[in-house]
Amino acid sequence: MKIIITGGGGFLGSQLSQSLLERGTWCGQAITEMVLLDAFFRGEPSDPRVKQVICDIGDRAAVFAATGCRFDVIFHLASMVSGECEERFDDAMRVNLDGGRNVFEAARAVEGKPRVVFASSVACYGGLEMSQMMSDTTKQLPQTTYGMTKAMCEMMVNDHSRKGHFDGRSVRLPTVIIRPGKPNAAASSWASGMFREPLNGETCMLPIRRDQPHPMTGYRTVIESFIALSEVPEEKLGKDRAYVLPAHRVTPQIAEQVIQEVAAERGLQLGPIVDAFDARIQGIVDNWPQQVDGGRAIALGLPQPPPLNQIVRQYLEDFGPR
């Protein structure tokens, strides 16, 4: 059983690989080999089943060489983030769109019929009244380059699956919280920051309105969803292989109330959340959905996120101060 994860050096990629290795099986078979692809890695693998490959996802030959002639499932997580895509259009097209096509063509070329799990985003939505509920039947009118590339890759997954090139499925992610480490170039970086920085006793500079709603889910639930969707038998899937995950509708006001509750439980001294309005970031967020309907994913057996305070507790358990 060979598993490949692109973006395997990133936060979600490393969490996914760790979870799969701890399980030891995929679809009831023992995992014997795992290949992680990324532009860089922070350390060496500790598990003999794992191989790390430095790979430019936008280079077709490099992707084909890294994936080889056989694998059972590939999780395609490698991507430029939203803020970067708005600033660097050509790079976004090369990495997110051409990179996706390279991965899909590699899956098409291998022996058998592998499964492909693509990490998409609710940034696929846009151009409508964002306060309405967004679902898998909502028309996609992305208003960011990032969302456009994700929507196009979803369409490719559907078409490759229709043609029998591979068995594909797309996980349409809400914003994932709480990511450890430092803020990144994603326009949604504030979503983790408004939890993470205060919990670490640091100041969070908030670039959006405090009443701005946004769909969010926990990283543990996302990892469970990747694995659950990857193991669903193909005959249970329809023609549309993209599933938006259920999520909480969260505002900075709600986030602050929740971290105050958890901090009181644990005797933590919170850092402040300071308004630092950024019209550019707010403009991007204004074109993202405020709430999503993940009922179709739930009906397929994917998990619902736990309460928001439990997501915060999970973060503290995994990444909090020692």
Question: In this predicted structure, what is the pLDDT of residue 208?
Answer: 96
E strand residue ranges, the chain = 2-6, 25-26, 29-30, 33-38, 50-54, 73-76, 115-121, 167-173, 175-177, 204-206, 214-218, 242-244, 248-250, 273-275
Percentage of the chain beyond pLDDT 90 is 91
Distance of alpha carbon 211 from alpha carbon 252, whole angstroms? 6
pLDDT digits (tens, 9 = 90+) for 277-296: 999 999 888 989 999 999 99
pLDDT digits (tens, 9 = 90+) for 144-170: 999 999 999 999 999 999 999 999 999
Beta-carbon-side half-sphere exposure of residue 242 (alpha carbons within 13 Å): 27
Distance of alpha carbon 169 from alpha carbon 154, whole angstroms? 8
Q: What is the CATH number of domain 2-176+216-247+292-305?
A: 3.40.50.720
Domain extents in the chain: 2-176+216-247+292-305
Q: What is the mean pLDDT of residues 26-39?
A: 97
Distance of alpha carbon 51 from alpha carbon 65, whole angstroms? 13
Residue 322 has pLDDT above 80, yes or no: no
Residue 54 burial (CB count, 10 A) = 13
pLDDT band at 312 (very low <50, low <70, confident <90, very high): very high
Mean pLDDT (the chain) is: 95
Question: In this predicted structure, what is the pLDDT of residue 129?
Answer: 84
Distance of alpha carbon 207 from alpha carbon 41, whole angstroms? 30
Q: Is the pTM above the cut of 0.75?
A: yes
Residue 183 to residues 23, 197, 206, Cα–Cα distance (Å): 30, 9, 12
pLDDT band at 83 (very low <50, low <70, confident <90, very high): confident
Going by DSSP bridges, is the β-strand pair 25-26/29-30 parallel, antiparallel, or unpaired?
Answer: antiparallel
pLDDT digits (tens, 9 = 90+) for 171-224: 999 999 999 988 887 788 999 999 999 999 999 999 999 999 999 999 999 999
Alpha helix segments (H runs only) across 6-73: 11-23, 60-67
Residue 76 has pLDDT above 70, yes or no: yes
Question: In this predicted structure, what is the pLDDT of residue 73?
Answer: 98
Distance of alpha carbon 62 from alpha carbon 33, whole angstroms? 19
pLDDT digits (tens, 9 = 90+) for 85-132: 999 999 999 999 999 999 999 999 998 999 999 999 999 999 888 889
pLDDT digits (tens, 9 = 90+) for 254-276: 999 999 999 999 999 999 999 99
Distance of alpha carbon 87 from alpha carbon 106, whole angstroms? 29
Cβ density class 260-294: b for 16+ within 10 Å, e for less: eebbeeeebebbebeeeeeeebeebbebbbbbbbb
**Catalytic residue positions?**
146
Q: What is the DSSP letter of 130?
A: T
Residue 16 has pLDDT above 80, yes or no: yes
